[in-house]
Amino acid sequence: MLKGKPFVKWAGGKRSIIEDLKKLSPDEYNTYYEPFVGGGALLFELSPKHAVINDYNKELMNVYSCIKDENKFSSMVKELDKHEANNSEEYYYEIRAFDKDKKKFNKIKDYKRAARTIYLNKACFNGLYRVNSKNEFNVPYGKKKKLNTYDGINLGMIYYFLNSNDIKLLSTDFEEAVKDAKKGDFVYFDPPYDSDTSTFNSYTENGFGKEEQKRLAKVFKELDKRGCYVMISNYNTKLVKELYKDYYFHKVKAPRNIGAKKSSRKEVEEVIITNYENER
């Protein structure tokens, strides 16, 4: 079966460890929940018939919504073609500046905002999505010689997947996103990672610090008590080891390609933590 793949490059994307995640996913479950969906690598790989996907990043979830809507999808692709044709450093900064005036930005048609999100992600430096405390996209121009903002076949497969299955789209807090999860459902958390040194977590204006990691662990444990299958990805830090010490740890090596310098783009030890044993 042909499957879609992420349509944006997202920090912490899971394409490089997708086989590990598949192997550790439960064989059978009811509804699939992914509260930090990002680029959706595992979502598309598993292609569940019932799913609730969420991301606190409203601009990202707006893209998913536009891909799901036939008319908006078509309009978004036309906008992307315009962005590709006009791409330059000057043009990039002009498009990037749209979110500085929130009143005007909120009036922009959703398919145009969706195309802007994809264009900025593809044209910016190293495909990094980052916003400042004012929720303004602030990544510099990437100076690519050739820019491809989308793969039409891939977007078509994602459109088909979102419309031929029961897929609910949300943009809310991760705890709110899983409030209806019940026994037999599968919840996969891929949050901004913890770090023993420093960490990049500016996908939204609020960031994701130690207290949020602790709150997430509480939600993990609550879902465990409900009888859900729960899986989470993170760095193998002191805090993570302590928070999930009663669960199953699976170590994986994953390349990190977001760092500004090549020397900072190296393999790091990640962990996939589950509340169940998987015999596959």
Summarised one tens digit per residue, pLDDT across range 45-54 is: 999 999 999 9
Over pLDDT 70: what percentage of the chain? 91
Global pTM reads: 0.92
More confident residue, 258 or 236: 236
Determine the length of the chain: 280
What confidence tier does 86 reach under pLDDT thresholds 50, 70, 90? very high
C-alpha to C-alpha distance for 77 and 114, rounded to whole angstroms: 9
C-alpha to C-alpha distance for 276 and 254, rounded to whole angstroms: 22
What would the two tokens of residue 266 be? 């190296």
267 pLDDT more than 90: no
Collapsing DSSP to helix, strand or coil, 203 comes out as coil
Where is average pLDDT lowest: 23-27, 197-201, 234-238? 197-201
Average per-residue pLDDT for the chain: 91
pLDDT of 253: 84
201 pLDDT more than 50: no
Q: From edge to edge, which strands make up the β-sheet containing 186-189? A: 166-170, 50-54, 32-34, 186-189, 229-235, 267-274, 248-255
C-alpha to C-alpha distance for 2 and 9, rounded to whole angstroms: 20
Question: One-letter amino acid identity for 263?
Answer: S
C-alpha to C-alpha distance for 199 and 202, rounded to whole angstroms: 9
pLDDT of 124: 96
Where is average pLDDT lowest: 132-141, 183-192, 211-220? 132-141
More confident residue, 66 or 268: 66
**Closest to 191 (Cα-Cα) out of 34, 45, 53, 65:** 34
Query: Average pLDDT, stretch 12-17?
Result: 84
C-alpha to C-alpha distance for 53 and 270, rounded to whole angstroms: 23
What confidence tier does 256 reach under pLDDT thresholds 50, 70, 90? low
H helices of the chain, in order, are: 18-24, 41-46, 58-68, 70-86, 89-96, 102-107, 110-123, 152-164, 174-177, 210-226, 238-243
